[in-house]
Amino acid sequence: MKVLDRYLMTRLVRGYGGMALAVGALVWLTALLDALGEAGGRSNMLGTLWSATTAVPVQLIDLLPVVTVLATASVLAGLQAQRELTVMRAAGTSLLHVTRLALVPALAVALAALAALQFLAPVLYPPGERIEQGQAAAPGESSLWHPWHGLWVRSDVDFMNVGRFDPGQLPGEIAIYEFDEDGAFERQIRAERAVPAPQTWTLEEVTVKRIDDVGRPRIERHDTYRWSSFLTARQLELFRQPPSSLPLSDLWTYVASLKDRAQDASEFELVLWRRITLPLAGIGMVLIAAALAASPGKGRGFSLKLVAAIGIGLGYHLLAGMAGFFALVTDLPPAPVVLVPPLLLVAVATVLLARSR
């Protein structure tokens, strides 16, 4: 690697570190204020600080395109303001070569973020930590379980409702409704609690209601009852976890599982594709930052370019969020809708970069 390449790479790495600390500090402060507001002064301060701290990594990864454009633009615009970029280009280092070098840390950070989402999410969101009852959540943060109606699960012809979760995450107040292929009611099973296991659950304090051939109900009661479940204990855990807390592999498997059961997977699929497209968004942000740095500027040129980078980063973040809401509201497939903002960003950035050369 040439001396100029090493110098530029060092500046970029420092830029990413500084911007990550700055944005992370803002995220932590916002999370802390939210936690204090929800607690209403009744929570343990150390617990609140820890909750705010654990929220930073995943939220910072979601803001990675903003960090990328700020870090790249601040470094390249600073080099341009100090005429260093002009010297590099005079020495034979083209703007295209500078852009390629800037893509290296951007893609490395994006891939590291995806790896962190795969392995760090289970640590930051252990199975015992769930969305608080009654707490409103944005798309990508809500759970399929709600204290008002419990957890509803459907197979081809059967329905199950879990009304509560006892200590140890054991389901309670269970109601199972089974129908035949023609849609006729076959039986209802109600249980006070259950011990989930793969394929077969053990239900306790069970009431089974059937309708006989003449239409009269027949009721049976059992202390314990073995029920062939279509849901594993691990899948039940996933139903109660917010999508943003799941590793990428679990998200992928879970989306496929929901689709196989003809259930709505759009919210989970939205989070999955937002994260898969992080490297693509990083490429677009680097191209935009390179185009900004190469554009002429005098006097306050560096400040204006940095402000433009902030606007582009936040604007992209808002556009991606709006596209997600649009997909959820209109029932459009999340994957193509989520791909529109980064592809549009890359296209516009490529045109601007070509003009700046």
What percentage of the chain carries pLDDT values higher than 90?
26
pLDDT at 1 over 70: no
pLDDT of 152-164, one tens digit each? 777 777 888 888 8
Rounded to a whole number of angstroms, the CA Rg of the chain reads 26
Residue 136's pLDDT is 39
Give the per-residue pLDDT at 228: 87
> Model confidence at 255, in pLDDT bands (50, 70, 90)?
confident
Distance CA 345, CA 247 (A): 27
| Mean pLDDT computed over 63-71 | 93
Residue 105 has what pLDDT?
94
pLDDT at 206: 95
76 touches 98 (CB < 8 A): yes
Question: How far is it, in rounded angstroms, from Cα 328 to Cα 264?
Answer: 10
Mean predicted lDDT score pLDDT of the chain: 80
**pLDDT exceeds cutoff 90 at 244:** no
Question: Is there a contact between 207 and 220 (Cβ–Cβ < 8 Å)?
Answer: yes
Under the banding of pLDDT at 50, 70 and 90, the label for residue 130 is very low
CB proximity list for 177: less than 8 A, separation 6 or greater? 158, 159, 160, 185, 188
291-340 pLDDT, tens digit each: 888 776 655 567 788 888 889 989 998 998 898 888 888 888 888 999 99
Q: Flag whether pLDDT at 357 surpasses 80.
A: no
